[in-house]
Amino acid sequence: MKANRPLLLLLLAASLTAQERRPRARDIGITVGSFPPGPLNAITDVPGVRVGQTTIFGGDSINTGITAILPHGGNPFREKVPAAIVVGNGFGKLAGSTQVNELGELESPIVLTCTLCVPRAADAVLTWLLALPGNEDVRSANPVVGETNDGFLNNIRARPITEADVLSAIRSASEGPVAEGAVGAGRGTVAFGWKGGIGTSSRKLPTQFGGWTVGLARTGSSMSNGSGDYVIAFSTVRPRPPSTNLDRLTDTVVIVRNDIMSGLFQATIDATEEAIYNSLLRAETVRGYRGVVRALPVDSTMMILRRHGAIPR
């Protein structure tokens, strides 16, 4: 039932082969905004950021998974990164938001999984955090886990994830290209009536705007009362790790000045839009619990985009 089991690995491999044939937005001429993407056009263009995913499926009814984003390759509890969470529509099960906003710090991986699986995934993140070298005396930690509702394609009431699945996603996290579409927490999601899933994109600001790289990953969106909408932002610019000296009371941090934030705002908006296009374009048809959700048909989509002049003829 898990992507990381031998038999299903084959299935996943087949699926990945099919998926490889589906394009990303830029492959078919869609560009969003004027800032250029980073080399991978993915959240992993931000140095240090790692993504790991476990895709879980099997039989007619299970289509879910885990997507883990790590801010860096170290111990996130010991080397917390600046972070903030904004709640657009709070109809969601996001764990960890109040502490991130109280302290302005992220101390765990960010994990996405199916709505009813959020507590199990948070518990597994604790298992991972408590076992990290250096965390032997940790008695309080704040896992950040968000939800993707895959209740149409997935038998979500079965909460079909295990601690091992979450640990596998976190441990397999790596720099480099990020799988998109019907993978990880995007395995069972639907967007705009088509199969959605995981998408990512990045922007590299010109030097005069700071030369920063914004990266981001997201799952397909659909606007309704029931559609929780959260933004989690973090920076990989860490203050130097605290010395062991007990009287070390302050951190020295570098912050972006308010008056040059506009470029970062625009880059984030553009990359978000492109990540959604990527999620829709890369996701393949999935058959599941309550029916089939079709992949966005690439050829006719391109035809429509050409007719409207959105991509070159």
Query: Within positions 28 to 67, which residues make up the interface with its own copies, using CB under 8 A?
Result: none
The minimum distance between CB 118 and its own copies, in angstroms, equals: 8
Task: Render 192-234 in DSSP notation, one character per residue.
Answer: TTEE--EEEEEEE--GGGT--EEEEEEE----STT--EEEEEE
Q: Is residue 243 part of the contact set for its own copies (CB under 8 A)?
A: no
Query: How far, in Å, CA of 156 to CA of 153, rounded?
Result: 8
Q: Is residue 308 part of the contact set for its own copies (CB under 8 A)?
A: yes
Q: Is residue 7 part of the contact set for its own copies (CB under 8 A)?
A: no
Query: Nearest 5 degrees, angle CA 33-CA 88-CA 256?
Result: 55
Tokens of 132: 């990290």
- 65-84 binders of its own copies (CB under 8 A): none
Query: Amino acid identity of 14?
Result: A
Number of residues that bind its own copies (CB under 8 A): 71
Considering only residues 12, 56, 95, 286, which one is a binding residue for its own copies as defined by CB under 8 A? 95
Considering only residues 126, 132, 298, 302, which one is a binding residue for its own copies as defined by CB under 8 A? 126
Q: Is residue 244 part of the contact set for its own copies (CB under 8 A)?
A: no
Is there a contact between 286 and 188 (Cβ–Cβ < 8 Å)? yes
The minimum distance between CB 173 and its own copies, in angstroms, equals: 20
Short-list 143, 273, 163, CA closest to 221: 273
Considering only residues 66, 122, 169, 183, which one is a binding residue for its own copies as defined by CB under 8 A? 122
Q: Which stretch binds its own copies (CB under 8 A): 33-41, 182-190, 221-229, 294-302?
A: 221-229
- 101-120 binders of its own copies (CB under 8 A): 101-105, 115-116, 118-120
Q: How far is CA 265 from CA 46, 203, 275, in A?
A: 16, 11, 15
Q: Is residue 160 part of the contact set for its own copies (CB under 8 A)?
A: no
Is there a contact between 97 and 122 (Cβ–Cβ < 8 Å)? no
Q: What one-character DSSP code corresponds to residue 142?
A: -
Tokens of 309: 């002049």
Is there a contact between 46 and 271 (Cβ–Cβ < 8 Å)? no
Phi, psi of 105 (to 5 degrees): -135, 145
Considering only residues 253, 287, 294, 303, which one is a binding residue for its own copies as defined by CB under 8 A? 253
Q: Which stretch binds its own copies (CB under 8 A): 39-47, 138-146, 273-281, 291-299?
A: 138-146
Neighbours of 204 (CB within 10 A): 19
| Choice between 149 and 219, CB closer to its own copies | 149
**3-class secondary-structure state, position 52:** strand
Considering only residues 269, 298, 302, 311, which one is a binding residue for its own copies as defined by CB under 8 A? 269
Q: What one-character DSSP code corresponds to residue 285?
A: P
Query: How far, in Å, CA of 38 to CA of 33, rounded?
Result: 14
Q: Is residue 291 part of the contact set for its own copies (CB under 8 A)?
A: no
Q: Is residue 96 part of the contact set for its own copies (CB under 8 A)?
A: yes
| Choice between 44 and 63, CB closer to its own copies | 63
Considering only residues 133, 176, 244, 249, which one is a binding residue for its own copies as defined by CB under 8 A? 249
Considering only residues 254, 299, 312, 313, which one is a binding residue for its own copies as defined by CB under 8 A? 254
Q: Is residue 223 part of the contact set for its own copies (CB under 8 A)?
A: yes
